[in-house]
């Protein structure tokens, strides 16, 4: 059990940051079970740097990393206006099967 636990810890989180000098301009966070599926938790690019291919590069590197590890199911929740961006990477819109709860104090 301990070896499985350690493997899960080592493979459950993937992060890439992009800097311009010492300024953070973009990042992507991915959470995975390390076996079959992953969830892109955040993909952020600073507004001044959007449209320059940074988000595309972050997605390409993340997808390559996950495919190298045989993770074949990748999920992401995004704003509707970003659908064309995610479709370029093969994502398909799912209209059912997901439920969510959110409480803000």
- pLDDT tens-digit profile of 42-99? 999 999 999 999 999 999 999 999 999 898 899 998 888 899 999 999 988 877 666 6
Specify the CATH number of the domain 7-85. 3.40.630.30
Distance CA 27, CA 24 (A): 8
Predicted TM-score of the model (pTM): 0.80
| Tokens at 15, concatenated | 């992060």
The residue ranges of every structural domain in the chain are 7-85
Number of C-beta neighbours around residue 66 at 10 A: 19
């Amino acid at each position: 059990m301990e070896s499985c636990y350690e493997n899960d810890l080592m493979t459950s989180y993937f992060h890439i940051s992009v800097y311009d000098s010492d300024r953070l301009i973009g990042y992507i966070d991915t959470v995975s079970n390390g076996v079959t599926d992953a969830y892109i938790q955040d993909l952020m690019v600073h507004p001044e740097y959007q449209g320059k291919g940074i988000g595309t590069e972050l997605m390409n590197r993340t997808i390559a990393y996950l495919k190298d590890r045989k993770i074949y199911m990748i999920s992401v929740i995004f704003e509707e206006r970003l659908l064309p961006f995610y479709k370029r990477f093969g994502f398909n819109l799912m209209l059912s099967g997901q439920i969510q709860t959110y409480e803000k104090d």
